[in-house]
């Protein structure tokens, strides 16, 4: 599959760490631990637009976007979150996989507490993998990333056109990351994994 990504000129943009349980591959007996998935993108209908880059991920995101075949205006995210504003998100739970996906629609001053409450609900349903999907078109995304990193979330990658604008994947694990079980082909995605591993170490410290 990864060789097909290269052959058809897709670009690897994200890695979802420990997404699927080994039980999902019991028939093939191909997984000793939780399995990561690779996100890849190719543009078929161009849509140039502006996105905001969080300071912590400015360099890695510019590197990914430099390989895409679609135009973006890249702007550093420096906008503060106004006091008194509320966050809004939609959470989807995948009980079999133990995964909680949180699509963040509004970034408010209560973001840390808001996400903590969602996490608690997910933990009660035995979730061990948490993903937050943010919209890179939101100018205050930089501060949102700082808050999530303080809560143990780390970089996953970019998801072009996820919200029609682009998405940013942040992830948090209550299980081993199983980095050693991730097998990758291209040098660029190997570099991406090394960045993710280092960001995971930093955010767990």
Is residue 40 a contact partner of residue 68, using CB atoms and an 8 Å limit? no
Residue range 138-168, pLDDT digits in tens: 999 999 999 999 999 999 999 998 888 999 9
Annotation: CATH topology of 2-204: Aminopeptidase (3.40.630)
Q: Answer yes or no: is pLDDT of 125 > 60.
A: yes
What whole-number percentage of the chain has pLDDT above 70? Answer: 91
Name beta bridge partners: 195.
none
Is the pLDDT at 3 greater than 60, yes or no?
A: yes
Polymer length in residues for the chain: 205
Adjacent-strand bridge partners of 52: 75
Sorted by where each begins, the domain ranges of the chain are: 2-204
- Measured at the CA of 172, the angle between CA 75 and CA 183, to 5 degrees, comes to 90
pLDDT band at 77 (very low <50, low <70, confident <90, very high): very high
Looking only at Cα atoms, what is the longest distance across the chain?
52
Residues 56-65: what's their mean pLDDT?
96
Mean pLDDT, the chain, whole residue set: 91
Q: Summarize the confidence of residues 34-45 as an average pLDDT.
A: 88
Write down the pLDDT at residue 24: 60
Provide the token pair at 12: 């690897």
């Amino acid at each position: 599959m990864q060789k097909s990504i290269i052959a058809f000129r897709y670009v690897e943009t994200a890695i979802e760490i420990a997404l699927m349980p080994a039980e999902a591959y019991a028939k093939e007996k191909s997984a000793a631990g939780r399995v990561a998935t690779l996100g890849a993108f190719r543009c078929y209908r161009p849509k140039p637009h502006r996105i905001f880059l969080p300071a912590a991920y400015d360099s890695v995101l510019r590197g990914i976007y430099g390989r895409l075949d679609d135009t973006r205006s890249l702007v550093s995210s420096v906008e503060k979150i106004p006091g008194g504003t509320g966050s809004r998100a939609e959470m989807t739970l995948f009980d079999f996989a133990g995964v909680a996906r949180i699509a963040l629609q509004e970034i408010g001053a209560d973001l840390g507490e808001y996400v903590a409450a969602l996490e608690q609900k997910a933990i009660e349903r035995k979730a061990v993998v948490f993903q937050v999907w943010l919209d890179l078109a939101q100018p205050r995304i930089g501060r949102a990333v700082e808050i999530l990193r303080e809560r143990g979330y780390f970089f996953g990658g970019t998801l072009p056109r996820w919200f029609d604008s682009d998405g940013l994947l942040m992830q948090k694990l209550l299980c081993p990351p199983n980095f050693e079980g991730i097998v990758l082909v291209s040098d660029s995605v190997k570099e991406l994994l090394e960045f993710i591993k280092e960001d995971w170490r930093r955010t767990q410290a």
